[in-house]
């Protein structure tokens, strides 16, 4: 929300040093917030959204040392707050304020620079836009080692997740799926843990594909330590190691669960390869479902407790059964992501078309034909508009008509 900066009284001093340049000020403020608030903190996210990161940080600096919360400057910007909302915000302010003396954005940025890393913020062209669907749970910034263009990498990203204590079957399936997806130019996104995660990263590397490791701690802390060489191989092969917490931050149980929301939001689809009834991978599936991302699950032996979570997702209708890379590609395709091999750049379907014709093209099924009325409804256009657009698309082979209806052609 736009407005004048919050004016600090004379007794208050900034706690994180001067931030003169506007862009630099906003960047360092986001870095500071990534150390003040726990991942997924909606109240911090709402405050930063309302005031902007730098002004929100300045307002917070007025509230330290058990001083009264300065409601006046805040309510001048956002309007009067209900008593219950004030209470929740005040409790959060007290928690954040205890960390203010320890937050040093310049130090964290220097550590990352020495590692050859990058920091991404939401207005960066390299920011993965899928994370914006998290709303006020969106991370304040991302710390990245390796190739920082996550917007491009995760646009064709598929999450493969599962149990740390995977069976030989689970690891084999994860490796094979990742290898096949990597050969298609798909970025395999996972959490870097033992078991299914590590097998997924290795499978993508085996195909010469890209993969991203999303950590629950800082990017300078290989966790688990036994996968440190794997993480270096990921970076060396053109992949990335990503975190929302700055250098030095340690993973905790709650941070692992919040990390899973990034994996789900950043990927076009999430596949649970093997998971027990209470596996942490189940949270990734539920995050994806909440965000309306496609969810897949690989079935296992009905006698295997290691696959009970996958079977639960299938039985509850949360996930679709997938058994190979073609089915995973089809799953991601239901979200509008066509996982063809992109290593040779090709024109995208819809290039050069007017908006109505493009929407009609995108509404066409790839396999089973459908009728004109369904195409029009899916595209959000009138029947007459759909009929005219389909005539144009049929001329260049982008649409095919049969007695059963319309489907996408080979050029689409």
With cut-offs at 50, 70 and 90, classify the pLDDT of residue 390. confident
Q: How far is CA 84 from CA 57, 80, 93, 95, 161, in A?
A: 22, 12, 14, 17, 38
Q: How far is CA 165 from CA 10, 70, 196, 276, in A?
A: 57, 49, 8, 9
What element of type H or E holds 297? strand 295-297
Percentage of residues of the chain with pLDDT beyond 90: 66
Q: Up-side HSE of residue 271: CA atoms within 13 Å toward CB?
A: 31
Given this model, what pLDDT does residue 21 score? 57
Residue 16 has pLDDT above 70, yes or no: no
Q: Which structural domains are found in the chain, ordered by start?
A: 22-103 (no CATH), 118-333 (3.40.50.450), 355-408 (1.10.10.10)
Residue found under tokens 């999450």:
159
* Average pLDDT of every residue of the chain: 88
**Residue-wise pLDDT tens digits, 151-177:** 999 999 999 999 999 999 999 999 999
Report phi then psi at 227, rounded to 5.
Answer: -105, 15
The structure tokens listed for 362 are: 């995108």
With cut-offs at 50, 70 and 90, classify the pLDDT of residue 343. very low
**Residue-wise pLDDT tens digits, 225-241:** 999 999 999 999 999 99
Residue 314 has pLDDT above 70, yes or no: yes
With cut-offs at 50, 70 and 90, classify the pLDDT of residue 347. very low
Give the residue from 78, 76, 47, 41 showing the smallest Cα distance to 60: 47
The structure tokens listed for 185 are: 């130019």
Give the residue from 412, 265, 409 showing the smallest Cα distance to 351: 412
Long-range contacts of 66-70 (CB under 8 A, 24+ apart): 69/93
Give the number of other CB atoms < 10 A from CB of residue 89.
19
Residue 190 three-state SS: strand
**Residue-wise pLDDT tens digits, 102-156:** 999 999 999 999 999 999 999 999 999 999 999 999 999 999 999 999 999 999 9
Given this model, what pLDDT does residue 336 score? 56
d(CA 238, CA 110): 23
Report phi then psi at 189, rounded to 5.
Answer: -110, 130
Model pTM greater than 0.95?
A: no
Given this model, what pLDDT does residue 403 score? 85
Given this model, what pLDDT does residue 339 score? 55
The structure tokens listed for 93 are: 């302010």
């Amino acid at each position: 929300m736009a407005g004048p900066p919050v004016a600090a009284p004379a007794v208050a001093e900034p706690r994180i040093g001067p931030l003169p340049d506007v862009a630099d000020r906003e960047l360092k403020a986001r870095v500071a917030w990534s150390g003040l608030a726990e991942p997924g903190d909606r109240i911090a996210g709402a405050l930063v959204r309302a005031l902007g990161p730098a002004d929100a940080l300045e307002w917070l600096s007025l509230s330290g040392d058990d001083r009264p919360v300065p409601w006046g400057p805040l309510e001048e910007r956002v309007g009067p707050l209900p008593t219950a909302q004030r209470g929740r915000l005040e409790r959060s302010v007290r928690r954040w304020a205890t960390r203010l003396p320890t937050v040093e954005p310049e130090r964290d940025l220097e550590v990352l620079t020495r590692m050859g890393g990058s920091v991404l913020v939401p207005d960066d062209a390299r920011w993965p836009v899928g994370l914006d669907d998290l709303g006020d749970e969106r991370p304040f910034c991302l710390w990245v080692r390796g190739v920082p263009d996550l917007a491009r990498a995760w646009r064709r990203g598929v999450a493969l997740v599962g149990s740390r204590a995977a069976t030989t079957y689970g690891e084999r399936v994860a490796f094979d799926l990742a290898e096949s997806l990597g050969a298609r130019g798909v970025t395999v996104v996972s959490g870097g843990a033992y078991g299914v995660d590590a097998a997924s990263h290795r499978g993508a590397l085996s195909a010469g594909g890209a993969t991203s490791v999303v950590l629950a701690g800082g990017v300078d802390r290989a966790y688990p330590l036994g996968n440190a060489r794997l993480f270096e191989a990921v970076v060396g092969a053109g992949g990335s190691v990503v975190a929302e917490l700055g250098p030095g931050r340690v993973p905790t149980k709650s941070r692992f669960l919040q990390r899973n929301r990034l994996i789900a939001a950043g990927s076009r689809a999430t596949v649970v390869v093997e998971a027990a009834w209470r596996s942490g991978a189940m949270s990734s599936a539920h995050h994806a479902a909440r965000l309306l991302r496609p969810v897949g699950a690989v079935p296992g032996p009905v006698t295997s407790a290691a696959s009970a979570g996958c079977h639960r997702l299938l039985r509850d209708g949360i996930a679709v059964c997938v058994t190979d890379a073609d089915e995973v590609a089809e799953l991601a395709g239901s979200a509008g992501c066509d996982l063809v091999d992109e290593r040779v750049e090709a024109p995208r379907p819809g290039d050069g078309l007017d908006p109505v014709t493009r929407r009609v093209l995108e509404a066409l099924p790839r396999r089973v034909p459908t009728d004109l009325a369904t195409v029009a409804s899916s595209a959000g256009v009138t029947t007459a508009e759909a009929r005219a657009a389909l005539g144009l698309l049929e001329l260049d082979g982008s649409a095919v008509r049969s007695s059963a209806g319309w489907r996408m052609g080979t050029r689409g």
